[in-house]
Amino acid sequence: MEYILPIARELAIQAAKNAGQLAKEYFDQEKEISEKEHGDLVTVVDHLAEKKILTEILSRFPDHQIRSEETGWTGQEGEWLWLVDPLDGTNNYAIGLPIYGVSITLIHNKQPLLGVIYDSHLGDIYVAEQGKGTTRNGIPISIKPDAAFSQPNPRRMTVGWIQGHYVQKEQRAMDLKHKLDLTFKRVLRLWAPSLLWCMLARGDLDGIVLYNSEGDDLYAGILMAKEAGAMVMDFSGKPFEGMNPEPYIIACHPKYKDEFLSLVNAENLMS
């Protein structure tokens, strides 16, 4: 493992940058867009960027399995798994909104070890490695609690909201989202989850609430948040570990744990 991670880290950083720069080059051009299920979109850039990343991974790690946004599963199941989202924020990208990125995760025996997220339009690279912290363009970053935490004020907080494609207008999800809207200063839904996780890691969000969304960008984001000092837990308050195909997650500064759990009200929402 010791010899794999340094190689994987440099490969993932370069692959993410290459894919993101490709997307930016195409950004102002007319885009070939098609619709997937549940109204999600895919562009020709999704496929071109994905091909670039997969080619680079397989050239160095031909025996590793890959799960990617458009291609699906590649290779045989084993200890190592790469998760790839070559264009996180396709819906934004398709309408000319410059909020999109690249997410690459390396998982060993269902434990995320490496997460790389590239903010394609701004050119910022975020890297998290288990036990080694989170960096933005090589500089360590961390979450920040409210300076006046002795009296936490939700009206001052900005919180990210992420929901899965299959959730749509599910009533319990809408009830929770409405509750958050009434409580916090702002609830932000970027339609580019990886960039929300980066905002939390660098201290520009006070928390994230995720409702049943296991995209290929999820585990890089979780690792990014954890290594920046965030607590990541399920709606019952149990630390979130490993992988889960139907995750319900809160991520925030550890001092905010009780505040968020009381708002989620797991017993009523998840029964």
Q: Does the pLDDT at position 147 exceed 70? A: no
Percent of the chain with pLDDT over 90: 76
Instruction: Give per-residue pLDDT as tens, 196-214.
Output: 999 999 999 999 999 999 9
- Identify residue 50 by its one-letter amino acid code: E
Q: Which two tokens stand for residue 137?
A: 């363009």
Task: Indicate if the alpha-carbon torsion angle 50, 51, 55, 58 is positive or negative.
Answer: positive
Confidence of residue 40 (pLDDT cuts 50, 70, 90): low
Cα(116)–Cα(16) distance, integer angstroms = 7
Q: What is the 3-state secondary structure (H, E, C) of 52-104?
A: HHHHHHHHHCCCCEEEECCCEEECCCCCEEEEEEEEECHHHHHCCCCCCEEEE
pLDDT tens per residue across span 111-141: 999 999 999 999 999 999 999 999 999 999 9
- The predicted structure's pLDDT at residue 29: 80
pLDDT greater at residue 271 or residue 16? 16
Rounded to the nearest 5°, which phi and psi values hold at 141? -130, 160
Structure tokens at 77: 């199941």
- Give residue 184's pLDDT: 95
- The pLDDT value recorded for residue 265 is 76
Q: How many CA atoms lie within 13 A of 249 on its CB side?
A: 32
The predicted model scores a pTM of 0.92
Residue 67 φ then ψ, to 5°: -120, 120
Q: Which domains does the chain have, with CATH numbers?
A: 4-141 (3.30.540.10), 154-269 (3.40.190.80)
- Where are the strands (E) in the chain, listed by range? 33-35, 41-43, 65-68, 72-74, 80-88, 101-108, 111-119, 124-129, 134-136, 139-141, 158-163, 186-188, 207-211, 231-234, 248-252
Digit-coded pLDDT (tens) for 222-252: 999 999 999 999 999 999 999 999 999 999 9
CA distance 269 to 271: 6
Q: 80 or 31: which carries more pLDDT confidence?
A: 80
